[in-house]
Amino acid sequence: MNVETPVFTTPDEQVAWLGTDPIPAKAYYDPEWFELERQAIFMRSWIEVGHACELPEPGTWIRRELEFADASILIVRGKDDRIRAFYNACTHRGTQLVEEESGKGANFLCPYHFWNFGDDGRLVAAPDFKRFAPLTKEECSIPKVAVDTCAGLIFVNLDPEPKHTLREYLGEYADRLETLPVAKATTFHEYVYEIDANWKITYDNFQENYHLRHVHGLTGVATVHQQNQYGYPDKYTFNGPHRTQQIWVNPEPLIKPMQGYNLGLVANDCAQQGIMGSPDSRTYFALFPSLFIIGTPMQHFSHKVYPISATKSRGVFRIYWVDDDDSATRRYAREYALCSLRDIHTEDVNIINRAQKGLLSGAIKKIHFMTMEGLCRHLYQQVVARVEDYLEEREAAGETA
């Protein structure tokens, strides 16, 4: 018996409230606007910088470079098992305490004059410190950075007095993130890239599916199907500055033999780890300002985009896993998953670069988002709202713009 294939209906009504106005192109390359974004957003928002699995026991630490703040940050699990963060700088003359990306140790010894700091940032000892009198060791603690975790993810906020806690910032999405495989992760595979493009141009590429069938023909990501020729999402949701899309499932995906074999290995792995069946297994979270988390356990990845300048960004892809690579088969399956993700991203890189180059002349004055690019429009509107709030605060404080 022939059953008529249902017609796919796009959720246009879920993004209609965002409007249809064109977007000023200057916001995607102008250095002055980028500086406002840097101050209004990245210096005052919760920024994801890692995962608790990188700090498996007391005394372990990681270093993160945040170019938008010209800051090097140390994130440490203390002897009391608490995670703390502070600037990677000695309070004597500012020398960076560590150069390594990670390590383990109860203290941080400045290599310049051997000031010694504990894992809570306090000055423990300093040679001939009596000659600094009346300065006290208590006055020489390293400046702290606000830090918190959700679903195992580590977030920092460079605002000395954050307006919201992390869970307040994430809103109702915080509880949903806790149900994802990332909350149980114990290890990951990582891919880092730099790109000559504004952070919003880079991020927006991964917020819309309009490009999939045109850009990703080589990897077969955007399999054309009569129900949904562009792979548009089933559903959108919005929560403050954040947003999600529910991934559409192709009923007749074209899977190559090697892809199928690997998917079988990963599915078996995920089933053994008990991470199948999350209610958000098809949800793609876009967390403000520039973090993605996908719910599927089969390729459970995060993707964060860090701004470097008005026309340069750094991105980090991670696929999270439960338990170590304890066999050749498991390691193969997991590394294949990361390589597949990287192959897909390689197809994106050239297009993103060309999008940036095309705007630099200033000839293009406006960007036009269609209905199903609503997440891109939402991001821009949230950016503008925070820049306007920042300027109003400065004006109220009597500061010049």
CATH number of the domain that residue 194 is part of: 3.90.380.10
What is residue 230's predicted lDDT score, i.e. its pLDDT?
84
Let me know whether 266 and 363 are in one domain: yes
Low-confidence ranges of the chain (pLDDT < 70): 1-10, 218-224, 261, 400-401
Residues 121 and 254 in one domain: no
Does the residue 38 lie in any domain? yes
71 in the same domain as 55: yes
Residue 123 and residue 181 share a domain: no
Q: Which residues contact 254 (CB under 8 A, 6 or more apart)?
A: 220, 223
What is the distance between the alpha carbons of residues 268 and 223, in angstroms, rounded to a whole number? Answer: 24
List Cα–Cα distances, 305 to 36, 67, 313, in angstroms: 18, 12, 7
Residue appearing with tokens 């005394």: 59
Domain boundary among 107, 132, 161: 161
Q: 209 and 315, same structural domain?
A: yes
Contacts 24+ apart (CB under 8 A), 388-395: 389/40, 390/36, 390/39, 390/40, 390/44, 391/36, 391/40
Strand arrangement of the beta sheet that strand 312-321 belongs to: 187-195, 312-321, 301-309, 291-294, 283-287, 242-246, 235-239
- Residue where a domain stops, chosen among 161, 191, 211: 161
In a domain, 167, yes or no: no
**Residue 311 placed within a domain:** yes
DSSP state of 362: S
The pair phi, psi for residue 251, each rounded to 5°, is -70, -20
**Do residues 340 and 235 share a domain?**
yes
Whole-number Cα distances in Å, 27 to 138, 201, 344, 364, 375:
44, 10, 27, 12, 16
Domains of the chain: total: 2
CA distance 269 to 320: 12
**Pick from 161, 180, 212: which residue ends a domain?**
161
- Note whether 299 and 358 are same-domain residues: yes
The answer on 131 and 204 residing in a single domain is no
**In terms of residue numbers, what domain contains 222?**
1-43+172-401
